[in-house]
Chains A and B, each alone.
Chain A
Amino acid sequence: MDNILEVDRLSIRFEKVEVFADLSFQVAKGKSLAVIGPNGVGKTVLFRALIGAIPSEGTIRWTPHVRIGYVPQKLDLDRDVPITGRDFLRARSNSTGGADVEISLMLERVGISRKVSENCIGILSGGQFQRLLVAFALLGNPSVLLLDEPTAGVDGPGQHRLNELVRQLQEKQGLSVLFISHELSVVYEYATNVLCLGSRHAYFGPPRKILTPDLLSQIYGSPINYHVHDH
């Protein structure tokens, strides 16, 4: 099967601190990879390396002409920046030649009302802003989505809507998805493979194999004694 992403022996260090080393995994076209692991283990850092925002060693190979839609976890913005949700989306569609109709359609799909889209982005709630970022990413007609905790701060119905939207896009357009999540039920339901980052080892494989009570307690709790590597 074609892979949209192949990562081989990836290492990232800040100054002299190693975040992780020798990470290898693949994502097949149209499939989902869940990235899980305790706080501070480097999940967001991995995503930022994948989009080329921070330097890394090893190889990150995207399929040619890949279009990446990136939805970051949280942003540091002034509350009073006079940029509305619509301004932000327009900034994307203008640079690719899209139309206002497309923006309205996209806002409807992610569940943002017209009124909310005319508020300044600084005063949107966490969940509203997250959905706006998803809409922005989707306007670029991506072949792969990188979602950093996409449903953190999003209410129950909103979570369901986002998950279903992404699932639809996967079925209809063969969208590939990488997502960071702390919710194992979501990981079980949506992920083809799981990359579980621990402080010493990383585990990669299908959820049934990775999400065993033993392994999880090792990653999130007591020290790691043995190493299962699945390719």
Chain B
Amino acid sequence: MTIEVLLLSITMAVAAGLVGSFAVMRRMGLAADPMSHVALPGIGLALALHINPLFGAVAMLLFGALVVWALEGKARLGTEALIGVLFSVALALGSMMTSGEELIDALFGGAGVLRWPEICFGLIASGAVIAFIVTQRNRLVVMLVSPDVARTAGIDVRRLDLLYLGAFALTIALGLRFLGVLLMGALIIIPAATAKRLARNLTEMLVLAVSIAVATTLVGTWLAAVFHRQTGPFIVIVAAACFLLSFLRLP
């Protein structure tokens, strides 16, 4: 593993831990998974058009974030069901458009060589996500406790929500190469869910989620290299092991 790939996987994990912390506190853990599926038709479309699949995935993910945001604005019952249906359709369409090895790589993360455009995008996007969460964490906290209270505190709730969902979508895109469409949701949710069980305040929550995400990414990547297998499943299994261990510490 080269130094830039190592750096990229660490920044991806940091972004995942931060974004995931707010995702589990907002109780959108279950939305993470279907939302990551929307990347697949983007990858398929990009491959068909002979452009970098990463950018197809990013475009579709940001579109997916916009759909979730618009549905939230409607505030009607059944949004969750609608998200489930829409994004399952995305998965179905995507798997029709891609085939064979490409599909397996897209679903579970491939080991292929990272090229400079991908590395540059990865570093810039993860830097942006990390900066967003770190600078906006106070506003995000107020919004998650009560959007109404946030509104009267002068926070543009709809805009902040859109930005958060955008950061969420970018974070999924960051992990596609390492974990794939099916498993990236897990790296966002599991370390944060583990941290939520152990943390006693916000700082502990964020620090723990980031540490667990980075540690599981590194250990998972190492195990995958040792066993010559795909990285995604190993990272998720290590993360899940941490989550199970957290039950040992607390009743």
Contact = CB atoms under 8 A, between A and B. Distances in A.
Interface of A: 48, 51-53, 68-72, 75, 77-78, 80-84, 86-88, 90-92, 94-95, 118, 120-121, 133, 136-137, 140, 146
Nearest to A84: B201
Nearest to B142: A91
8 contacts: A71-B149, A80-B196, A81-B196, A83-B201, A86-B201, A92-B142, A95-B154, A136-B149
Contacts of B195: 82
B141 A91 contact: yes
Residue among B139, B145, B154, B204 with the highest chain A CB neighbour number at 10 A: B145
Interface string B118-148: 0000000000000000000111011011111
B151 A82 contact: no
Contacts of B144: 81, 83
A51 B145 contact: no
Contacts of A84: 200-202
Given A70-B152, A95-B138, A75 B145 contact: yes
Nearest to B27: A78
B138 A80 contact: no
B229 interface: no
Given A51-B152, A82-B199, A95-B142, 7 more contacts: A48-B148, A70-B152, A78-B25, A82-B201, A91-B141, A92-B142, A94-B138
B146 A72 contact: yes
B205 interface: yes
Contacts of B154: 95, 140
A146 B27 CA distance: 28
Interface in B185-201: 195-197, 199-201
Contacts of A52: 151
Contacts of A120: 200-201
A83 B153 contact: no
Interface of B: 25, 27, 137-139, 141-142, 144-149, 151-155, 195-197, 199-205
B196 A82 contact: yes
Given A82-B196, A83-B201, A91 B138 contact: yes
B138 A90 contact: yes
Contacts of A95: 138-139, 142, 153-155
Contact of B139 (A80, A91, A146): A91
B149 A82 contact: no
In the complex, the 10 A-B pairs of residues with the closest C-beta atoms, listed nearest first: A91-B138, A82-B199, A70-B152, A91-B141, A87-B202, A82-B205, A68-B152, A84-B201, A94-B138, A95-B138
B138 A140 contact: no
B133 to A, nearest CB: 13
A53 B145 contact: no
B209 to A, nearest CB: 10
B151 to A, nearest CB: 6
B242 to A, nearest CB: 16
B201 A140 contact: no
